[in-house]
Structure 1
Amino acid sequence: MLAIGEFSRLTHLSVRTLRRYHEAGLLVPAAVDRSTGYRSYSGDQIATAQVIHRLRELDVPLADVRRIIESTDPGNRAALVSDHLARLEVELDRTRAAVVSLRRLLDPDPVPLSVELRAVPEAMVAAIEDDVDSDAMAAWFAGALAELDAAVDKRTGPLGGIYDNSLFEEGRGHVMLHVPAADPPHLGRVHPTTLPAVELAVATHVGPHDHADVTYGELGTWVVANALAVAGPVRETYLVGPADDPDPSAWRTEIGWPIFRMS
């Protein structure tokens, strides 16, 4: 049997932490002296303590740690750990995107954004559209894209999206995902529609969409500086995306703001 101090040195868990884990029922000592309250641990608890230590280093919640160490099914334990690792990877991706955006915003010598004024003619497209909450956009986008891919055999141009201003201003707005097609089908949610002609101020966002807000801001600054005003929903055109290249740094999204010149 090992005294709590010895067990602490062997596992690199502080005495205070071991006491907290005991109180939480996470790592119960092999024996507790009734008269003194001294805790003692067995040698075979060292491995369990080390597993707990690693899980806590990965910020696994105590309740999940308990489920993992109490599970007798290796497959179940692996699934619980994998679920948490997947959540960590998502958070890591968000952190990396935030760092990229912040560095770009704080760059003392930023590369000037290239903006093009473009007259876009009307176009026949196959589209799916709906009113969507901003926090449900990712799921809606994925579902709509899958339907369009299944319904449209021959595209005549890249995938595009039109996003109502209220989506950004109020967190809910009208969204349309579309692909140009010579003979757009009417199948399920997919239907043919004609996009009206429009004058756009267009800039290309490079990389994943997580920090597209920086490009939006730079484009907005350019629009204001050139005495233009936004007139209508934002258009995005996905020139290169995940389906074209798995490397996010290769993705290219054109952001187009319908504009008119202020008098």
Structure 2
Amino acid sequence: MSHALTIGDFSKATHLSVRTLRHYHQIGLLEPTDVDPDTGYRRYETEQIPAAQVIRRFRALDMSLDDIRAVLSAPDLRTRDQLIAAHLARMEAGLARTQQAVASLRDLLEHRAAPTTIGHRSAPATPAAAITEDVDVADALQWFQGALGELRATLTAQGIRADGTPGGMFADELFADEHGRATVFIPCHGPVRPMGRVAPTTVPAAELATIVHSGPHEEIDRAYGSLATHVAEHELAVDGPLREYYLVGPGDTADKGAWQTEIGWPVFATGTSG
């Protein structure tokens, strides 16, 4: 037999504040069994304590209120378990990102000046298959992986062989405004037929100051910083999108530590370059 509790007593029983309980009532997550029409006082049943405890623990695991609502309203245990497992997987992925960020920060603090090798090269005009879109910087990595996969699939479907290292070109606005034009391309010779997002293009020629970043793309900013410092001190930069060439990338290995990305900064070549 259940018994009614005032919102104050229910708060003490569940360690959820009165303010939180009122909010959960407003959004329909945990509703009192009775609300006095004259005073607005809320009363809860003791049978609701386990549900409140579950909600409190899910919130401690950073589960969103919408996800908690989906778990509590799941039609069966299998669906409920799948929802919980999906959240735990997201937490594990977040923990891995945090650990990677901590390791990167520790390395940055302990080795402030990373060794750099700056190169120079002339990139010729190159026919290629490409995907060009305006993207948000927060989605850039996922967009890049999807675009590169679509390019490879399209070339395979059309019987066209890749003829060079895949690359990307990124407008200044993508860095400055967190939204801008991005292009991913695969050099190839042959009549590329437009299909889906894929279209033929010619990657323009450019003189580039270069640096190679080893490791995951999440840490590529250090290489960008080193290259920018060199260009500012020793080069004459020119307008044009920054470039990346994926010497070893997701299409070659799932081991992010083995990835090799060449970054190219457009410069005006002089007799002292190279």
Query: What TM-score range do you get, normalising by the shorter chain?
Result: 0.7 to 0.9
Q: Residues 207 and 268 of structure 2 are in contact (CA less than 8 Å); yes or no, is this contact kept in structure 1?
A: yes
Q: Does 1:236 align with 2:239?
A: no
- Counterpart AA for 2:90: R
CA distance in 2, matches of 1:97, 1:170: 26
Per the TM alignment, residue 63 of structure 1 is displaced from its structure 2 partner at its CA by: 5.3
Output aligned runs, 1:187-226, within 5 Å.
187-188=194-195, 189-226=197-234
- Counterpart AA for 1:155: A
Rate the CA distance shift 1:62–1:180 in 2: closer, same or farther, 3 A.
Answer: closer
Any idea what SS the aligned residue of 1:64 has? helix
Q: Does 1:258 align with 2:261?
A: no
Q: Residues 184 and 191 of structure 1 are in contact (CA less than 8 Å); yes or no, is this contact kept in structure 2?
A: no
Q: Residues 14 and 53 of structure 2 are in contact (CA less than 8 Å); yes or no, is this contact kept in structure 1?
A: no
For residue 114 of structure 1, what is the aligned residue in structure 2? 117
TM-score, normalisation: structure 2 = 0.72
Any idea what SS the aligned residue of 1:156 has? coil
- Counterpart AA for 1:202: T
CA distance in 1, matches of 2:46, 2:234: 73
Q: Does 1:171 align with 2:178?
A: yes
The ranges of structure 1 where at least 4 consecutive aligned residues each deviate by more than 6 angstroms after the TM superposition are: 18-23, 25-28, 39-42
Between stretches 115-124 and 64-73, larger displacement belongs to 64-73
Between stretches 69-78 and 55-64, larger displacement belongs to 55-64
- Counterpart AA for 1:215: A
Q: Residues 126 and 148 of structure 1 are in contact (CA less than 8 Å); yes or no, is this contact kept in structure 2?
A: yes
CA distance in 2, matches of 1:103, 1:260: 36
Per the TM alignment, residue 168 of structure 1 is displaced from its structure 2 partner at its CA by: 1.3
Q: Does 1:158 align with 2:165?
A: yes
Question: Which residue of the other structure, out of 113, 124, 131, is the alignment partner of 1:128?
Answer: 131
- Counterpart AA for 2:134: D
TM-score, normalisation: structure 1 = 0.74
- Counterpart AA for 1:224: A
Q: Residues 14 and 52 of structure 2 are in contact (CA less than 8 Å); yes or no, is this contact kept in structure 1?
A: no
Q: What RMSD over aligned residues (CA atoms) do the two structures have, in Å?
A: 3.7
Per the TM alignment, residue 127 of structure 1 is displaced from its structure 2 partner at its CA by: 1.5
Any idea what SS the aligned residue of 1:201 has? strand
Output aligned runs, 1:58-73, within 5 Å.
58-62=61-65, 64-73=67-76
CA distance in 2, matches of 1:119, 1:248: 28
CA distance in 1, matches of 2:45, 2:204: 77
Q: Residues 235 and 267 of structure 2 are in contact (CA less than 8 Å); yes or no, is this contact kept in structure 1?
A: no
Rate the CA distance shift 1:81–1:107 in 2: closer, same or farther, 3 A.
Answer: same
Q: Residues 123 and 196 of structure 1 are in contact (CA less than 8 Å); yes or no, is this contact kept in structure 2?
A: yes
- Counterpart AA for 2:15: T
Deviations, residues 187-218 of structure 1 (Å, cap 9, x unaligned): 32323322222111111112211121222112
Per the TM alignment, residue 139 of structure 1 is displaced from its structure 2 partner at its CA by: 4.9
* Count of residue correspondences: 246
Deviations, residues 4-53 of structure 1 (Å, cap 9, x unaligned): xxxxxxxxxx856167697758899xxxxxxxxxx9978xx87x788656
CA distance in 1, matches of 2:133, 2:21: 52
Q: Does 1:147 align with 2:169?
A: no
For residue 17 of structure 1, what is the aligned residue in structure 2? 15
Question: Which residue of the other structure, out of 85, 104, 123, is the alignment partner of 1:82?
Answer: 85
Any idea what SS the aligned residue of 1:260 has? coil
Gaps of 5+ in 2: 2-11, 32-43
Deviations, residues 211-259 of structure 1 (Å, cap 9, x unaligned): 2122211211122222432431111011222222112111111111111
